[in-house]
């Protein structure tokens, strides 16, 4: 087992992927027009998990997936029609499987009761649907080894209900006899058309009417045809199976063309490329000073190097990018569950799932999106009855879309619900003693819902309404360097727009100088930069404030708080950068502005420790290190200063 345990991680990841595939496909499953190919994929996923877990000895997974697999198998053989209830049960089973998987992963105790309960549930639902106790027992029976095939054998012997296979062969013979053609399927149909013209009214089932006319067909065969519906369907999977063969091979091909790489290897690569870019720009500087005969050669080589470096950088960065569907795919399930719970009818539309986004962002954007979608489902979309009243379609639409615009990823969550209620928000804000902004524009009112402790839901449901969500959403998004905007119209709906930087590794910043050291202020925080005049500088308790735009701005002297200066910068010769965070606005006193540039963010905590007021560091073109300010956490310096 020890030899195997090194592969455990691979199994966990694959099983996780298989479970996600199952969930996605089950959600997309259309009961009225079942797609056999999809059902086959679900079955294959279940089968892979079963096989894998058996090898690695994760018995809890094996047992449960086995029951599930059998159920899916009967479904794809059309012995079982999947109903909404059945799909719900199957989805719940995937949840249980996910739990078991993470139990194994964390090596924690496995709750066998849940597994047994889940098995029993599968069985019970199955029994309800099929009404056949025998079948259920067969499904639930756990054989450890090769149940899949054992089950088939059973079927062959039973011979009463499962004409599928026994009959199928006969059917084949019959057809062959009648047409004597190799291309059985099509020959059969062609002839059928011709002959069915003659006997159109004789039998409702035209296709099989043909059989009746056929002289060679014997009575027992006809008997089979009478119960013809299952046959009709059992041919379908057979044909489909043939069709799927090529697509299956293409799937395997795409699997082989990708490999799993640990993220830290990629991070290292990204770091090294960043370093390469710096070395390259240093070389460029040196190269421009060369005046000898080699100058020309040197220049062209340097240009070549520059182009190659840029291409390497782009290629490496693209390795870190993942389609945003990694996040989006979790939501159809959520919406389905929530709408069932809330008895609302909701259609989730997803667009732009292919938009690529930095891997680190993918993980961090998931929670805020979850909150927002919950919010749209719970508060946005009205109850079906209410929607009917206002002449809207009974089914509400929540649209989740992503697109790249310039250097940003824009994610929108739009619902066609009631829209935000301006009066109620203001009322609530007053009740919670949240100060109202001036002027009270719609936009300013909408922003109020992001205040801590704000929630307009009349009562707290387990879906949302605890009022912890929205302020966390905004904080999370801002910590990713993004921002969130709301537009809303009463009766028409609400749109949340999230703008995020393409990658976490790069930041648009203003480089500034204070106490002979270079700092970077994130551009998103900057309101404006001014050179204060004497009249604007006010003093309270010996501390300086700046009077700009009818507002007092507290000041933080960067040179003193971060640069190690002992004396304060002279305000009248310095520059004040006015910045804004979600909590507060203030001014940063610096010596001079150097310029605006994109910088690669490096973690300071990798080799050192967290520093208050500093978000990270970056390497400048000359190879030196500059610190990036964490404007959000700098507010604490104000309190210390005042």
Partner 1 sequence: MAILQQGNTSSMPAKEFLTFVLGDETYALDIMTVKEIRGYEPATKIANAPSYIKGVINLRGDIVPIVDLRIKFDIGEATYNEWTIVIMLNVRDRVVGIVVDGVSDVMNLEAEEIKPAPEFGVAFDSRYLHGLAALEDQMVIIVDIEELISSDEIGVFESA
526 contacts: CB under 8 Å, gap ≥ 6? 510, 577, 578, 579, 580
Based on the shown chain and the rule CB under 8 A, indicate whether residue 509 belongs to the binding site for partner 1. no
Provide the 8-state DSSP code for 253: H
CB 135 within 8 A of CB 154: no
Three-state SS for 431-491 is HCCCCCCCCCCHHHHHHHHHCCCCCCCCCCCCCCCCCCHHHHHHHHHHHCCCEEEEEEECC
Distances (CA, A) of 159 to 79, 219, 225: 13, 18, 15
Identify any residues that bridge with 599 across adjacent strands, giving them in sequence order. Answer: 507
Residue span binding partner 1 (CB under 8 A) among the ranges 186-194, 351-359, 391-399, 615-623 = 615-623
How far from 285 is each of 279, 282, 313, 597, CA to CA, in Å?
10, 5, 20, 18
Phi, psi angles (nearest 5°) of residue 362 = -55, -45
Shortest distance, position 597 Cβ to partner 1, whole Å: 16
- In this structure, what token pair is assigned to residue 308? 């190659």
417: contact with partner 1 by CB under 8 A: no
Smallest separation (angstroms) from partner 1 to the CB of 509: 15
In the bound state with partner 1, the residue whose beta carbon lies nearer, of 598 and 603, is: 603
Q: Extract long-range pairs of 176-184: CB within 8 Å, 24+ residues apart.
A: 177/216, 177/217, 178/211, 178/214, 178/216, 178/217
Contact flag: residue 626 with partner 1 (CB under 8 A): yes
Stretch that binds partner 1, among 110-118, 130-138, 290-298, 608-616 (CB under 8 A): 608-616
Q: Which is nearer to partner 1, 130 or 517 (CB)?
A: 517
Q: Is residue 614 within the footprint of partner 1 (CB under 8 A)?
A: yes
Tell me if 610 contacts partner 1 by CB under 8 A.
yes
Sorted by sequence, the CB contacts under 8 Å of residue 319 that are 6+ apart come out as: 261, 266, 269
CB 179 within 8 A of CB 188: yes
Task: Based on the shown chain and the rule CB under 8 A, indicate whether residue 609 belongs to the binding site for partner 1.
Answer: yes
Report which secondary-structure segment, H or E, holds 598: strand 592-600
Q: CB of 395: closest distance to partner 1 in angstroms?
A: 52
SS3 410: strand
Could you tell me which of 260, 305, 312 has the C-alpha nearest to residue 287? 305
Residue 561 near partner 1 by CB under 8 A: yes
For partner 1, the binding residue among 226, 253, 260, 607 (CB under 8 A) is 607
Residue 9 is a binding residue for partner 1 (CB under 8 A)? no
Residue 619 touches partner 1, criterion: CB under 8 A = yes
How far apart, in Å, do the first and last CA atoms of the chain sit?
Answer: 64
- Closest approach of Cβ 268 to partner 1, in Å? 9
Is it true that the peptide bond before 584 is cis, omega within 30 degrees of 0? no
Tell me how far apart the alpha carbons of residues 66 and 64 are, in angstroms, rounded to a whole number.
Answer: 5
> Which residue in the set 604, 633, 638, 641 belongs to the binding site for partner 1 (CB under 8 A)?
604
Binding-site member from 209, 274, 352, 554 for partner 1 (CB under 8 A): 274
- Least gap, CB of 564 to partner 1 (angstroms): 5
Q: Which is nearer to partner 1, 587 or 613 (by Cβ)? A: 613
608 contributes a contact to partner 1 by CB under 8 A: yes
Contact pattern from residue 450 through residue 489 relative to partner 1, giving x for each residue in contact according to CB under 8 A and a dash for the rest: ----------------------------------------
- Judged by beta carbon, residue 592 or residue 624, the one nearer partner 1 is 624
Question: Is 511 a residue that touches partner 1 (CB under 8 A)?
Answer: no
Site string for partner 1, 229-268 (x = CB under 8 A): ----------------------------------------
Q: Which of 627, 631, 632, 635 binds partner 1 (CB under 8 A)?
A: 627
621 sits near partner 1 (criterion: CB under 8 A) = no
Q: Which stretch binds partner 1 (CB under 8 A): 82-90, 206-214, 579-587, 609-617?
A: 609-617
CB neighbour burial string for 459-487, b if at least 16 within 10 angstroms, e if fewer: eeeebbbebebbbebbbbbbebbbebebb
- Give the nearer residue to partner 1 in terms of CB position, either 185 or 564: 564
Q: In the set 82, 225, 373, 562, which binds partner 1 (CB under 8 A)? A: 562
| Candidate ranges 100-108, 351-359, 567-575, 624-632; the one touching partner 1 (CB under 8 A) | 624-632
Q: Binding segment for partner 1 among 52-60, 119-127, 489-497, 603-611 (CB under 8 A)?
A: 603-611
Instruction: Verify binding: residue 606, partner 1, rule CB under 8 A.
Output: yes
Q: Which of 77, 231, 375, 517 binds partner 1 (CB under 8 A)?
A: 517
Distance CA 407, CA 501 (A): 6
Q: Using the minimum distance from each CB to partner 1, give the nearer residue, 52 or 522.
A: 522
Contact 520, 626 (CB under 8 A): yes
The number of residues that bind partner 1 (CB under 8 A) is 30
Q: Are 192 and 210 in contact (CB under 8 A)?
A: yes
Q: Which is nearer to partner 1, 43 or 519 (CB)?
A: 519
Decide: is 563 part of the binding site for partner 1 (CB under 8 A): yes
Contact call for residue 155 and partner 1 (CB under 8 A)? no
What is the contact surface with partner 1 in residues (CB under 8 A)? Answer: 271-272, 274-275, 517-518, 561-564, 602-614, 617, 619, 623-627
């Amino acid at each position: 087992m020890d030899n195997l345990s090194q592969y455990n991680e691979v199994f966990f990841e694959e099983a996780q992927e298989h479970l996600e595939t199952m969930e996605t496909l089950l959600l997309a499953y259309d009961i009225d027009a079942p797609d056999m190919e999809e059902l086959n994929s679900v079955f294959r996923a279940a089968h892979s998990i079963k096989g894998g877990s058996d090898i690695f000895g994760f018995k809890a997974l094996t047992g449960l997936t086995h029951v599930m697999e059998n159920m899916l198998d009967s479904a794809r053989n059309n012995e079982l029609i999947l109903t909404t209830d059945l799909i719900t049960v199957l989805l719940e089973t995937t949840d249980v499987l996910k739990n078991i998987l993470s139990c194994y992963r964390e090596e924690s105790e496995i709750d066998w009761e849940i597994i047994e309960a889940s098995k029993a549930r599968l069985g019970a639902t199955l029994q309800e649907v099929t009404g056949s106790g025998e079948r259920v027992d067969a499904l639930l029976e756990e054989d450890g080894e090769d149940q899949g095939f054992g089950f088939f054998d059973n079927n062959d012997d039973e011979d009463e209900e499962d004409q599928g296979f026994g009959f199928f062969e006969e059917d084949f013979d019959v057809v062959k006899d009648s047409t004597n053609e190799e291309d059985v399927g099509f020959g059969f149909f062609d002839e059928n058309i011709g002959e069915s013209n003659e006997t159109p009214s004789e039998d409702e089932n035209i296709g099989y009417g043909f059989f009746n006319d056929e002289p060679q067909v014997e009575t027992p065969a006809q008997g089979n045809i009478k119960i013809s519906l299952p046959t009709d369907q059992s041919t379908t999977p057979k044909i489909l199976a043939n069709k799927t063969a090529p697509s299956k091979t293409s799937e395997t091909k795409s699997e082989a063309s990708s490999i799993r790489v640990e993220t830290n290897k990629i991070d290292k690569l990204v770091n090294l490329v960043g370093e390469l870019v710096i070395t390259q720009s240093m070389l460029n500087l040196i190269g421009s000073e060369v005046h000898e005969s080699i100058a020309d050669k040197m220049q062209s080589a340097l240009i070549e190097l520059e182009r190659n470096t840029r291409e390497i950088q782009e290629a490496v960065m693209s390795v870190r990018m993942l389609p945003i569907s990694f996040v989006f795919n979790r939501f159809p399930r959520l919406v389905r569950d929530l709408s069932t719970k809330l008895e609302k009818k909701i259609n989730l539309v997803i667009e732009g799932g292919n938009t690529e986004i930095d891997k680190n962002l993918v993980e961090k954007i998931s929670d805020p999106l979850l909150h927002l979608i919950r919010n749209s489902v719970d508060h946005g979309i009205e109850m079906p009855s209410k929607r009917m009243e206002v002449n809207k379609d009974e089914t509400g639409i929540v649209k989740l879309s992503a697109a790249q615009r310039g250097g940003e990823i824009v994610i929108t969550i739009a619902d066609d619900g009631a829209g935000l209620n301006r009066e109620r928000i203001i009322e609530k804000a007053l009740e919670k003693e949240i100060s109202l902004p001036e002027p009270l524009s719609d936009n300013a009112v909408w922003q109020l819902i992001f205040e801590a402790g704000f929630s307009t839901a009349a009562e707290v449901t387990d879906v949302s309404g605890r009022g912890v969500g929205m302020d966390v959403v905004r904080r999370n998004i801002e910590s990713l360097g993004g921002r969130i905007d709301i537009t809303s119209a009463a009766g028409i709906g609400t749109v949340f727009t999230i703008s995020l930087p393409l990658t976490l590794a790069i930041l648009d910043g203003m480089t500034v100088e204070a106490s002979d050291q270079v700092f970077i202020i994130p551009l998103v925080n900057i309101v404006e930069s001014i050179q204060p005049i004497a009249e604007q500088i006010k003093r309270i308790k010996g501390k300086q404030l700046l009077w700009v735009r009818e507002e007092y701005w507290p000041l933080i002297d960067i040179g003193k708080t971060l640069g190690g200066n002992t004396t304060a910068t002279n305000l009248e010769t310095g520059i004040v950068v006015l910045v804004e965070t979600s909590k507060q606005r203030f001014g940063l006193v610096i010596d001079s502005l150097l310029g605006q540039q994109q910088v690669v963010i490096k973690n300071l905590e990798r080799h050192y420790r967290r520093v208050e007021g500093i978000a990270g560091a970056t390497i400048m073109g000359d190879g030196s290190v500059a610190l990036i300010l964490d404007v959000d956490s700098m507010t604490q310096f104000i309190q210390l200063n005042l």
